[in-house]
Amino acid sequence: MTNPDIFQQYFDLLDETLTTYELKDKPSQIYNCDESGMPLEHKLPRVVSLKGTKKVRQISSGNKTQITVASESLALLEAKKQQKEEVEKEKERKKKEREEKRIAKESEKKQKQQERESKQEG
């Protein structure tokens, strides 16, 4: 069973670390690395023993050569989400700007129309 306090401590430490290094708003600067070693000679030899033997010993080739695979991932999902939000905000800003320009043009047209009408009456 897992203790919830351990999880809370982890996330508290994570929050403190992200704040200390000013990484909260920079998910593109957060990396995760992992490495795994895999033996090049994995084939185990056949072993002969007496029936019922509890611990059967085996002799391997002694070849300890292995390949190490390292993987690295970047917190791109959060970065992409943030980028998408920024694009949406920019779209909204441009939409609002176009609407304000349209309203200003309409207002200008109405004002000119009123000026023409007042000249014709006068």
Q: Is the pLDDT of residue 42 over 70?
A: no
Residue in the block written with tokens 């085996």: 58
How far is residue 20 from each of residues 16, 42, 74, 82, measured CA to CA in Å?
Answer: 6, 45, 19, 21
3-state secondary structure at position 122:
coil
pLDDT in tens, 5-19: 888 898 899 889 888
Q: Which segment of 31-35, 77-81, 91-95, 116-120 scores lowest on mean pLDDT? A: 77-81
CA distance 30 to 42: 35
pLDDT in tens, 49-59: 888 888 877 66
What percentage of the chain has pLDDT greater than the value 70? 84
Nearby residues of 35 by Cβ (< 8 Å), 6 or more positions away = 68, 69, 70, 71
* Global confidence as pTM: 0.36
